[in-house]
């Protein structure tokens, strides 16, 4: 995922305020295991427990949008 590094510096988890980083392919695959409509990219919380989807280049940073990663 191509996201402006300056934007990544200010984005954070809406619940814990942990920094976010672009999700790798394994994290995206794990998130897709829990949903009918597959996502292509996302942002993962620093602790690796939650992935927030990115749709059309826009991160969906609301608690309800996050997917738990096991």
pLDDT in tens, 15-57: 999 999 999 999 999 989 867 888 999 999 999 999 999 998 8
Nearest Cα to Cα of residue 44 among 57, 25, 56, 33: 25
Which has the closest alpha carbon to 23: 7, 37, 8? Answer: 8
67 half-sphere exposure, CB direction, 13 A CA radius? 26
Q: What is the average per-residue pLDDT within 49-70? A: 93
Does residue 1 carry a pLDDT above 70?
Answer: no
pLDDT value at position 33?
A: 87
Q: 49-58 contacts: CB < 8 A, separation 24 or more?
A: 50/13, 50/15, 51/23, 51/27, 52/13, 52/20, 54/1, 54/3
Domain boundaries along the sequence of the chain: 5-68
pTM of the model: 0.90
**Which pLDDT band, with edges at 50, 70 and 90, does 3 fall under?**
confident
């Amino acid at each position: 995922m191509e996201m402006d590094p300056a934007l990544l510096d200010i984005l954070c988890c809406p619940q814990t305020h942990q920094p976010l980083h672009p999700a790798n392919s394994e994290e995206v695959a794990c998130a897709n295991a829990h949903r009918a409509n597959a996502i292509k990219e996302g942002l993962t919380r620093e602790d690796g427990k939650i992935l927030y989807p990115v749709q059309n280049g826009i991160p969906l940073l609301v608690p309800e949008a996050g997917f738990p990663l096991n």
